[in-house]
Amino acid sequence: EINAVAAERAKKLGIADIVCNTILDPVAGKEAFDLAFTKGVLIHINPDELDKVYANLYALSRRYVMVCEYYNPVPVTVPYRGNADRLFKRDFAGELIDRYGLRLIDYGFVYRRDGYFPQDDVTWFLMEK
């Protein structure tokens, strides 16, 4: 968690090991997990920094990588809360597959008007090393 206040609150819950840090810092040599994932994170990473984040996501996974983000077949920038260069849509999964040779296991779409589990219009991709 990048937000120190949120990280401290989460630590007090005692339900997870919370690390206050940025996803841009290298994590090589740290613990790996069966699943490493992002949800609504990659869309806010400057494209010039994505290689660092992809490397961390891959390094933190022993087996599976999942991304749940806004999808677009070609990179685009979308205005976000009145700001430019704060939200980026692209084929994050395709880039990870090409870069690391991951295998696509499954994918799907979450629709904001879903009557049971409404969230946002995002596409998720589950990949395996």
Predicted local confidence at residue 19, as pLDDT? 83
User: Which stretches of the chain drop beneath a pLDDT of 70?
Assistant: none
Say how far apart CA 9 and CA 97 lie, in whole Å. Answer: 35
Q: What is the pTM of this model?
A: 0.89
Say how far apart CA 55 and CA 120 lie, in whole Å. Answer: 26
Q: What pLDDT, in 10s, does the model give residues 28-62?
A: 777 899 999 999 999 999 999 999 999 999 999 99
